[in-house]
Structure 1
């Protein structure tokens, strides 16, 4: 198959779940004999316009854009959709709802089957202004109308599309990245003033919907003796929020801001954590939580549906989303019940190993591609009924 990928920032991955997803799935497809072209943003790849390079067999093309929040993504997604015109591709795969605004263009100008992967309801994210939010919402509606198949990464998203649009989707979850070797002597962690097993870790972009501010406030309220809190993550169009957060962190010597971590340093800090906490108000299916679970780290999360899917049934602890008192109580319990938390972590590790595999995800995605290529094209896609919308998605 010839596959075009639109909506990812680029490869290799630096930050973001979509880019890590693409880095895992598409090289595996190439290894099975398929051709994959990924249309990237030159602002991310730091390459000249229309430059090409190879990432593990995936051909990356850097598209021009404007380095303005939101604008860059829409311009490169539009150009990526234009690049699919003609008979060059069998599959045009859009990632995220914003880029999906241009699924109609790909559907009309190319015989390629159009696929959308929804990692989360991006229009709910606090970083977007009202105009961008409206465009992303339009992208969601375009995906429902024009995509031959929609992949969702959580049960909650599957329910959302069915209840909101009467649209069936394909549930194919994310999987955690495979960590490499890290320093057994915990050298970097020691430089940060950390002791293995005696710190709480938040890992993720510093954005309002992930609520690192709630965790900072809960930790400052609890003041657990002998424990520290590590905040690790990069800035994502939320400089004002980050500035206020760093101001709070600076006043507490038991809170460490580690910035954006990658590679061996990231692996070392995750593996050394005594507790991983994700207090988000909004997630798709968080890769960072899956990675902590895979590494056998005890996990505490807000009780949003994606977290319930991952760590309910004795695989971790949940607290009421957005509730400071609930977060404080749960932190206190987790810290003072290490044996119970270790048992939950063991259950979580087994669960991830059994159900979340990149090889399985690649296989399921290719199965969807193949089934869509065998479907006849409807005669009229301009006003599809809800029945037709449901009918163009293959059975799981």
Structure 2
């Protein structure tokens, strides 16, 4: 099959769940003999326009982008959709709702099948202004109307599209990255003042919907003896929010801002954590949470639907989304009950290893593609992944 991918910023992945998702799925497809072209933003790829290069067999094609918040993603996606018309792809796969605004452009070849993956309801994110939010909502409707196959990464998203549009979708979840070896001596962690097993970790972009501010407030009020809080993540398009947050923690001796971590340092800090906390108000199916669970780290998360899907049945603890008091109570209980934390972490690790595999996800994507190419009607179901 000849496959085009639109909506990822580029490869190799730096920051961003979609980029990591594409880095796992598409090289596996290439290894099975398929051809994959991924249209990228030249600023992210740090490569001149149309100066293509290979990433693990995937051809990455940098396209012009204007590096203006709320415009760059739409510009690159539009050019990518037009570019697919110059080559007769079997599949054009859009990732995220904003880029899906251009799904009808990619249908110029009647034999080409359009697939959209919704990783989350992006129009709810705080970084978007009114105009960009409306465009993303339009992209959502275009995806519903023009995608031959619509994939979602959580059961909550599946319910949303069915209830809102009467549109059946295909549930294919995310999976955690496979961490390589990290420093067993915890050298980097020690250098920033951490002790293994005695810090709480927040890992993710410092944006309002992920609620690092709530966790900072809860930790500051609880003051757990002998524990530190680590904020690890990059700055997105909400610089005012991030500046205010970092100003608040700057003089707090037990809160460490580690910045954006990658590779061995990231793996070391995740593996050394005593507790992983994700207080988000909005998620698709969070890769960072899956990775912590896979590594056997105890987890606490807000009780939004995607987190409930992952943490049900004694695999972690949930607190009331948006409630600092609920977060404090949960943190306090977990820290006081290390044996229970350990048991939940073991349950979570076993569950993730059994049910979330990139090999399986790649296989399910190829099933979607092949089914579409053999049938003119949109597909609405495939064998389901377990969700609890």
- TM-score, normalized by the shorter chain, greater than 0.5: yes
The CA distance in 2 between the partners of 1:67 and 1:73, in whole Å, is 9
1:23 and 2:14 matched: no
Q: Distance in 2 between matches of 1:251 and 1:327?
A: 22
Structure 2 CA distance for aligned equivalents of residues 108 and 344 of structure 1 = 51
Deviation at 1:251, TM superposition (A): 2.5
Equivalent residue for 2:386? none
In the TM superposition, residue 86 of structure 1 has moved relative to its aligned partner by: 4.8
Correspondence list, 1:336-355, <5 A: 336-355=336-355
Contact persistence 1:198–1:273 (CA under 8 A): yes
Q: Distance in 1 between matches of 2:119 and 2:332?
A: 32
Determine the C-alpha separation between the residues in 2 that align with 1:269 and 1:355: 25
Contact 1:119 1:284 in 2 (8 A): yes
Aligned partners of 1:395, 1:112: CA distance in 2, in Å? Answer: 20
CA distance in 1, matches of 2:42, 2:104: 24
Shift of 1:375: 1.2
- TM superposition shift of 1:111: 2.6
Structure 1 residues 280-328: Cα deviation after superposition (integer angstroms, max 9, x where no partner): 0000000000000000000000000000000111000000000010000
Name 1:327's counterpart in structure 2. 327
Cα deviation for residue 87 of structure 1 reads 5.0
Residue 381 of structure 2 corresponds to 395
2:385 matched to which residue of 1?
A: none
8 Å contact from structure 1 (residues 107, 113) kept in 2? yes
SS in 1 for 2:116: strand
**TM-aligned CA deviation for residue 167 of structure 1:** 0.2
In the alignment, which residue of structure 2 is the partner of 1:381? none
Which segments of 5 or more consecutive residues in structure 2 lack a partner in the other structure?
383-388
Which ranges of 4 or more aligned residues in structure 1 deviate by more than 6 Å? Answer: none
Aligned 1:244-283 pairs, distance under 5 A: 244-283=244-283
Where does the alignment leave 5 or more consecutive residues of structure 1 unmatched? 377-390
State the alpha-carbon separation in 1 of the partners of residues 183 and 7 from structure 2: 35
C-alpha separation between the residues in 2 aligned to 1:160 and 1:346? 31
- Partner SS, residue 196 of structure 1: coil
The aligned runs of 1:193-342 (5 Å cut-off) are 193-342=193-342
Shift of 1:395: 2.7
Distance in 1 between the 2:208 and 2:141 partners? 25
Q: C-alpha deviations, 1:79-126, integer Å up to 9, x for none?
A: 110111155200000000000000011123453100000000000000
> Given that residues 88 and 109 in structure 2 are in contact (C-alpha distance below 8 angstroms), is that contact kept between their aligned partners in structure 1?
no
SS in 2 for 1:221: helix
TM (norm. structure 2) is: 0.97
State the SS of the aligned residue for 1:47. coil
Rounded Cα–Cα distance in structure 1 between residues aligned with 2:110 and 2:267: 43
Aligned twin of 1:382 = none
**Aligned residues between the structures:** 382
C-alpha contact (below 8 Å) 1:6/1:93 kept by paired residues: yes
For residues 325 and 85 of structure 1, the distance between their equivalents in structure 2, rounded to whole angstroms, comes to 54
Deviation at 1:362, TM superposition (A): 0.2
Is 1:169 aligned to 2:169, yes or no? yes
Q: Following the alignment from structure 1 to structure 2, what is the Cα–Cα distance between the partners of residues 256 and 370?
A: 48
Is the contact between residue 84 and residue 110 of structure 1 (CA under 8 Å) also seen in structure 2?
Answer: no
Question: What does residue 67 of structure 2 align with?
Answer: 67
- Provide, for residues 144-184 of structure 1, a one-character-per-residue CA deviation record: whole Å limited to 9, x for no partner: 00000000000000000000000000000000000000000
Distance in 1 separating the partners of 2:294 and 2:54: 29
Residue in 1 that maps onto 2:12: 12
CA contact (8 A) 1:85 1:110 kept: no
CA distance, structure 2, for counterparts of residue 62 and residue 105 of structure 1: 19
Q: Describe the SS at the equivalent of 2:67.
A: coil
User: TM-score w.r.t. structure 1 length?
Assistant: 0.96
Once the two structures are TM-superposed, the CA of residue 23 in structure 1 deviates from its matched residue by 0.3
Other structure's SS at 1:142 match? helix
